[in-house]
Structures are given as structure tokens and as C-alpha cells.
Structure 1
Amino acid sequence: MSAEMLLFDIREFGARGDGRALDTDAINTAIARAARCGGTVVVPAGRFLCFSIRLASGVTLLLSEGAVIEAADPALHAGAYDLPEETHGELFQDFGHSHWRNSLIWGIDLHDVAIVGPGRIEGTGLTRDGPGARWRRDTGERPLSMAGMSAAEISALEPEEAAMVGRGNKAIALKNCRRVALRDLTIAKGGHFAVLATGVDELLIERLVIDTERDGIDLDCVTRTRVRGCRVNSPNDDAIVLKSSYALGAPVACDDVVIEDCAVSGYDAGTLLDGSFGRSQQLAPDRDRVTGRIKLGTESNGSFRNIVIRDCRFERSRGLALETVDGGVIENVSVSGLTMREVTTAPLFLRLGDRGRGPAGTGVGAIRGVTIEGVEASGIDHRFAATIAGLPEVRIEDVTLRDIGLTYAGGGTAADGERRPPALPHAYPEPSMFGTTPAWGLWVRHATGIRLHDVRLATESPDARPEIVIEDAEIDRV
């Protein structure tokens, strides 16, 4: 029998699958045994309660039909998650981005690894919380929408690091791995991240269904990555997001990434999986409307190059965001075939800022060589026009918008149209950072080489603001 055909059923290693006994040791023993020769660890039908599961090179973890791996809760069960490893610290990124071992399933420095369905991961015992970055600049650490929150409210979202000992806050975490596949899984309640992949090369994520209370799929400093056919519901944070943080101790680029045929949304948590598509939640924890989008940034120490986003749906979510504020460059980005319904902030948001969360000398990055085409968006929050906003000293350049149809709710006032928001170079990037935009359709400032081809703008009710406002920008409209 070839290595690919070797099967290791976790029941043969003592797993019970009754939802009461801890099956962590049995699964880890099966993985260790499979790692000797390569093979597949089979999780059969049943409910397997676990703390940290440690992946190994050359091993596939197969969750069979009816199989559930449930994250144990240290407050209820006798055990704990693996401790967070010593890292470069959370100086330039938060606790969640900086650790991988404190997860339900994790792997570091591995190759040829897969986790495949059709089974399910339930992060019941995980926490969505974690400390923020130790770096501080009052205007850049958190969205301006959180400015009115009390210290107690902030600390509830960002507990001290000591409170995280023994707790898990990720469903799947991978660092510095090669040739990884995640396929056909369902993940419910993924903690801070349902999937966190940092420094992973040749990553394939296919047909995942994720319904979670914070981030869905975070791709940080990854290369040669494909995300296909996924459905991610995440009302409280981003659904699919590319990042280029300092978690690896140096600025590392996201390069050669394709996101295609995916759907993202901000329905009430849990209601994607139960099919009810609830709409009771109106605000995310940052006090803007629900999230659930595709984004580049906010962590942007490294760059984003050769990125393709195509044929994706946004439902009851914020729009597409391309953001660099920590010195990285966004270039050679192609976006096409997006459909958006009920857009909760701006449908398109391109932001070049100077938050500068990085080592001394971190400068301003760049956005250039971006094409966005074939976008149809409706039900857009009237407050936030599609926005392209650079800085007076460093402009966004070479952006093409082609075959774009945007329909806004309408209702802006003439006074809104007179607004000229401050530059806010150091602020955390979100469409709401500028308040209600002076245009209802498209607002462009501090940009050059912006080309508009068949850009169609409409409102459902009258809006007293100008359709387009251009400030310190060069636009070619066809």
C-alpha cells in the first residue's frame, strides 16, 4: 500500500467521539503515527472534544461525513490549549496575529499538509478576544468609530495577555508551511480567526463554509495562494483578508494570490449555517455597520503584489477595501466580476495612509497598477461614496475603474456636499474615518492617473450632494 493510501482511524488510538471525553491525545497520537510514513488520519462520524491538535508534515486530517471536532473550553473541561510561543512580540500586530500554537488545530514549519472534509469544526470553546498591539499611536491603533468607547469597553474586547494563558483563539493556524490544502470543511465559531495562515507558500483553500464571530480567512505574508468557492459569514470582522504584518519579524509581501468564486456576508452569526440569514445585528464591535468583506490590509508592513479577486459576491457587508498604511506597496491588483447587495459602508475604498505601525523609519507606501471592473453594487449606505484617498505628499496612482454600476440609497444633504474632511494621515483606515463623504457617488482626492470607463452612478432617492467630487486629483472619464 502506498503512503497516500495509509489510513489511521482515530478510534484505533482511543478516541471515543461521544462529545464528553477528551479525544485530544488520541488524535495527536494518530497524527504522530501517520507522520512516520505519511498517510491520512481519519476522523469518523461522532463529536470529538479536543484541545490543541498538532499537525505534522505529510499527513492529511480527514473529517468524515458526520464528524465534528469541537473546541473544548478550559473553564468547563480538564485541560488547556498549547501556550502561545515566544515570538517577536505584539509590538506591530495584535496578539492573535502573533501566535499560532494557542489554537484548536495548528502547524508550524510543515510541508505537504491537508485538512479536508466533509466534516465540521466547531470552535465552541474558543475565544474571539485577545490583546491589541503594544505599539501605540492614538489615531492609528483603532478605528475612529471606536473613539467614544470607554476603557472598560475596550478592555472587554482586548483582555490582558495573562488572561489568554491556556485559552485558544483560532480554529486553524499555520505558520511557515509549504504545500497546504484546506478543502470541503465547515467551520462554526472560529474564534479570533477561523483560518490564520502566516508565511505559507502554495496554499489552496477550497469550498470552505465558515460562519464565525470574528475574522474568517486571514492570509498574512502568503505566496502562491488560491482561495476558491468559499462561503464566509463574519458580521463582526473581515471575511477574507490579505495582510502583510510584521508577525514574521520582517516585512514580508503577499504575492501571487487569487480569490475567486467566493461569497462573503455579514448576516447574524450562525444564521448562514442554519439558513435563516438573520439581520438583527446592525453594528460590528467597532461601531460601524456589519463587516463581512474582502480586504487588503490593514496590516501592511510588507507589500501586496500580483493579487486577483474575481467573481465574488458581497451580501449585507462592507465593500471591497484596498488599504496600505504601514509602508507597504499595493500594485498589480486585478478585481473583476463583483456583485454587492446591501453595502454597509463604501462599495470601493482605496486608502493610502501613513499610520506607520512598524520599526523606526517606516515610511509611506504606494497604491498603483489597480484595475477594478465588472462591479454591480446596490443598496449602498448613502453616507459613503466609493472613495480613492491618498495623501497630499504621496498620491494613489494608475487606477482603472471599468464597467462599474453603483446604486446608493440617497438622502445626503447640501451641507454634506460642502464638507471637506481632514486628511487624517495617521488614522486607522475605514470608510467611516472621513464621516459622510462630500460626494454621493465617487470621491477622489490626492490621486493621479485615475481612469473611469463606463462608471454608472445612481441613487434610489434624491441626494443633494454632487455625484462626483475630485480634490487634488487627475481623472480621465470616458
Structure 2
Amino acid sequence: MPRFDVTSYGATGDGSTIDSPAINRAIDAAAAAGGGTVHFPAGTFASHSVRLRSNVTLHLDRGATLLAAAQRDGIGFDDPGSGAGNPYQDFGHSHWRASLIWGEGLENIGIVGPGRIDGAALVRDMRPDSPPGTGDKAIALKLCRNVLLRDVTIVRGGHLSILPTGVDHLTVHNVLIDTIRDGINVDCCRNVRISDCTVNTHGDDAIVLKSSYALGFARATENVTIANCMVSGYDTGTLVDGTFARNDPAAADRDGPTGRIKLGTESAGGFRNIAISNVIFDRCRGLALETVDGGALEDVVISNIVMRDVTSAPLFLRLGARLRGPAGRGAGRLRRISISDVTVHGADPRYPSMIVGLPGARIEDVRISNVRIHSRGGLSPREAAEQPPGLINVFFAEPGAREPYAVPERADAYPEPSMFGILPAWAFYVRHATGVRLDNVDARFEEPDTRPAIVLDDVRDPDLHRVQLSEVDGVPSVVLRGGTAVTSETGVAKTFHLPS
């Protein structure tokens, strides 16, 4: 394909001159020629909005940086446009043009490295009343096909470093991101491959799949693979500088560093056919599978996961009824989930792995196998009774004052492992579910924890096979409240049944 060097169209790469007019001239020339590669040589190209065209690939050479520049003389990033035209998702998910690089309705496009995209002037939280010229995304794509993002580094990516919405046939390969909020945010997309990426996002999710109403209708995110990646919650900027700092203890929501892989929160269209494998989580929250807006989350396979220094639940499966979308929708479905070969070390003892549905909307058919979880432990029922103001709920009070396993439903709440406060189990808490199987699960604590290891609350047909748990004398390992009897083969030393 022909090559169009941005310097031939007037770009200077001096880090000060606004080069976006020259860059866009080079892109237009490539499109007029039927397609080509727009080349950035070494240099720093200060820029406002870069407008992609079909059949054009941006190539940032080694030493090249595309730098999001502050407004100058009243000129800045493109106007966000009319956007989604509905209130069913955050404003950042409702527009695309107020970005460093954007495209709508395109095909056969690419952004490749090994250069860098630096969103220095992008804001982390844009609102409808933000000043004209404000930008909040590094790369935003809407209703595009055949997209390749490869070999680039993105730093300070604003609210969303990569936001594809309604994009089909998307490949994201060997991309490194170190940013303040979301890294890769895939919304209403089909046939997506994310591989060999490293994403550090202390304050938000690293790789997240969504299915919002941003297109004006519900559309599933489906046929997605995420493989051979690392996600983390190191202090912002310390992945790219190689220091991997851990000094900032909490994200903006007051929970621990985020940096995880998540399905949800926006989930009107649902999720189907998702495979996640060979991923490292370090100093971040665990894996979250959430459907709370009426969509179905089903047919998900997750394997070969390593987590270290986990700041919330290692596994969080939530079926809720926030129902952010047109009126009349009911709770969705969460079913046919397989999670295997997971090793977790240093899990926060406040939040066990959770599988939590609703009355009348049960999570179904979850298989968790070959899992080792090492919790820091050290808690007891007393800690929940003494939670400081600001935590959501108290489960344990003085003996006899309150039934200790009565966890509130919070059906319409924003889903997050901390939404229930400290739970009455330290390894697994399962509620309103059918057909949950734990097979070859080994859960241990570093310091004794006097809560039960597993609480099953209104769970039908649970199956515990080869489950090994740390024990404390006088404390039941497994508590069953309501539901049906546990099918168990070996490994569960003490089971205590509560009446329905």
C-alpha cells in the first residue's frame, strides 16, 4: 500500500506546533488514493482530533509520539456530537468524536506501532457541559469493521483509552496501556481478539466488555477472546517507567486499585461466547462477570488465571436488576460459566469469591474447578459488626440480635464486590443459584478466620467435590441455608445446615 508521511503534509513533530491539520490532510490523501499507510516518523506530534478514514492505517514509528494537546486560541478537540441520544449509559460512552483519534462507519482501518499515543490533555471525566474543545478518549470507534490496533503504547488515555462501540472484527494485539481510567473498553462488539496486551489502570477497569444502549438499541457483545494478557493496578504511570509502584491504596470509589477484567456493568445487550485464558492479575481487583441491565451473560469459559495481591473478590458473578434501559425489561440470565485452573495469592479477606443472583432470577450452571485460593485471613464475625461508617451493611451483631446470614439483596445497586460489605464467608459466598459445582478447590488462609469458609444461601443442587478448606475448631466449614442438600465427595470436614 502507498505510504503518506505526515511531514510531507506540513506536520513538524516539534512537540509544540499543532500538527492535526497536517495529519488529517495526509489521511485524506491516503483515502483519496484508495487507501494507504499514514506514517509518523520519530518526533512528538502535538494534535487535536485525528479523523480516520476507511482503508487507512496510521503507523507510529519508533520514537514517534502522537500527543493530545491542550486547547489553543479557542481550538481543541472535535465537538462530541449528538451521541447516543438516551440516558442509559454514562456520557463518556455516548459520544466518540471528542477524542484524539476517532472514526465512525469505517472499514479496514488500523493504528500500529511501535510508537506512542500520549493523551496528556485528555480529561478523565467529561460531561455534557464541559467547555467546547474538551477531549476524553485516546481512540474511539463507532460502527466500524475490520479494525487492527497493534504494537502501540498508550499513556494517559483519558476516560477511555480504547473505546470501540458496535465494531465487528476487531483485533487488539501487543498493546501496552498505562492510564488513569479504563484501558480497553469493548462495547456492543462482535468477533473480537485481544491478545498479548499489558494494561495498567489503577483507577478503573483494565479490559472490560460492555453491552450498553449507546447505539440506540441493545446489541450483544459476543465471540470474544482475551488471551495472554496482564492486567494490574499499580500506581498510574509506573508501569511504563518500570517502577511498578504500590503507594496509592485506593481507587476513586474508595475500594482498592481496580485494574481487572470485567464483563459489565452496562449489560442491556448481554454477552455470549466469551473465552478468557492465560491472564495475570497483579495488585488489582479480581475477575467480574456482571449482568444487571436485562441482558443474558452466557457461555463463558475462563482458564489459566494467576492473581496476586487481590484487592476484592477473586471471582465475582452477579445477576442484578439495575435495569438501565427502556422500561419493561426484567432481570437477565447468567448461566453456563466454566472457570478452571486459577491460582490466587494474597486475597483480601473481606470479600470471598461470590456467585450472587436474585430471588426468582437465579444464576445457573457454574463450574469452578482446579482452583487454589490463598486468603490473608485474620477476620471474624466481629469485624462485620464493627465496620466503620460508609460501608454498606452490617451482618453480625451481638449474639442473638440478628440472624448472621441475612445478607441484603440490593437488587438495583451498582454491582461491585464491596456492595454487601464484609460477608459471612471467607472463601465462597453463593446465593440464589442452581447447579453450582466446586471441583478440586483448595482454599487456605494465612491467619485464622473464624467465619465459615463457604456459605450457600438458597442454592439448589450444589456439588462440592474434592474441596479442601482451612479450618478453625468449632467453626463450620460449610453453611447451607435453605436450598437443597449438598452433594459432597471428600474434603469438606464439617457442614452445618441452617433452616430455610
TM-based fold match above 0.5: yes
1:453 aligns with 2:420: no
Asked whether the 8 Å contact 1:351–1:390 carries over to 2, the reply is yes
Higher relative contact order structure (alpha carbons within 8 Å, sequence separation ≥ 6): 1
Q: Distance in 2 between matches of 1:77 and 1:423?
A: 53
Specify the alignment match of 2:429 in structure 1. Answer: 443
Asked whether the 8 Å contact 2:86–2:216 carries over to 1, the reply is no
Tell me the CA shift for residue 414 of structure 1.
3.0
Q: Distance in 1 between matches of 2:155 and 2:99?
A: 14
1:72 aligns with 2:69: yes
Q: Distance in 2 between matches of 1:419 and 1:291?
A: 28
Residue 273 (structure 2) aligned to one of 295, 303, 306: 306
Alignment of 1:320-399 (within 5 A): 320-399=287-366
Amino acid in structure 1 at the alignment position of 2:106: L
1:402 aligns with 2:365: no
Q: Distance in 1 between matches of 2:259 and 2:343?
A: 17
Q: Distance in 2 between matches of 1:392 and 1:31?
A: 55
Specify the alignment match of 1:14 in structure 2. Answer: 10
Asked whether the 8 Å contact 1:233–1:267 carries over to 2, the reply is yes
Q: Distance in 2 between matches of 1:202 and 1:425?
A: 35
Alignment of 1:145-294 (within 5 A): 161-294=128-261
Q: Distance in 1 between matches of 2:246 and 2:431?
A: 34
Structure 1 stretches of 5 or more lacking a match?
Answer: 132-160
CA RMSD of aligned residues (A): 1.0
Specify the alignment match of 1:49 in structure 2. Answer: 46
Specify the alignment match of 2:454 in structure 1. Answer: 468
Tell me the CA shift for residue 87 of structure 1.
2.7
When the two structures are aligned, how many residues end up with a matched partner?
Answer: 444
Tell me the CA shift for residue 77 of structure 1.
6.3
1:106 aligns with 2:99: no
For residue 26 of structure 1, give the secondary structure of its aligned residue in structure 2: helix
Asked whether the 8 Å contact 2:74–2:133 carries over to 1, the reply is no
Tell me the CA shift for residue 88 of structure 1.
3.2
Asked whether the 8 Å contact 1:94–1:130 carries over to 2, the reply is no
**Aligned in 2, Cα 1:164/1:197: closer, same or farther, shift over 3 Å?**
farther
Asked whether the 8 Å contact 2:126–2:135 carries over to 1, the reply is no
Asked whether the 8 Å contact 1:268–1:280 carries over to 2, the reply is yes
Asked whether the 8 Å contact 2:41–2:63 carries over to 1, the reply is yes
Alignment of 1:103-142 (within 5 A): 103-131=99-127
Q: Distance in 2 between matches of 1:35 and 1:280?
A: 47
Asked whether the 8 Å contact 1:130–1:164 carries over to 2, the reply is no
Superimposed CA distance per residue, residues 392-429 of structure 1 (whole angstroms, 9 cap, x where no aligned partner): 11100000001011111101113447353201101000
Tell me the CA shift for residue 280 of structure 1.
1.1
Specify the alignment match of 1:140 in structure 2. Answer: none
- State the structure with more CA Rg: 2
For residue 187 of structure 1, give the secondary structure of its aligned residue in structure 2: strand
1:477 aligns with 2:464: yes
Amino acid in structure 1 at the alignment position of 2:365: D
Superimposed CA distance per residue, residues 53-105 of structure 1 (whole angstroms, 9 cap, x where no aligned partner): 0000000100000000000112x565211001113325000111000000000
Amino acid in structure 1 at the alignment position of 2:222: D
Amino acid in structure 1 at the alignment position of 2:123: T
Structure 2 stretches of 5 or more lacking a match?
Answer: 385-395, 397-403, 466-500
For residue 409 of structure 1, give the secondary structure of its aligned residue in structure 2: strand
Q: Distance in 2 between matches of 1:100 and 1:119?
A: 23
Q: Distance in 1 between matches of 2:78 and 2:205?
A: 26
1:61 aligns with 2:48: no
Specify the alignment match of 2:486 in structure 1. Answer: none
Q: Distance in 1 between matches of 2:222 and 2:52?
A: 25
Q: Distance in 1 between matches of 2:197 and 2:99?
A: 22
Q: Which runs of 4+ in 1 moved over 4 A?
A: none
Amino acid in structure 1 at the alignment position of 2:226: I
* TM-score relative to the length of structure 2: 0.88
Asked whether the 8 Å contact 1:326–1:357 carries over to 2, the reply is yes
Amino acid in structure 1 at the alignment position of 2:111: I
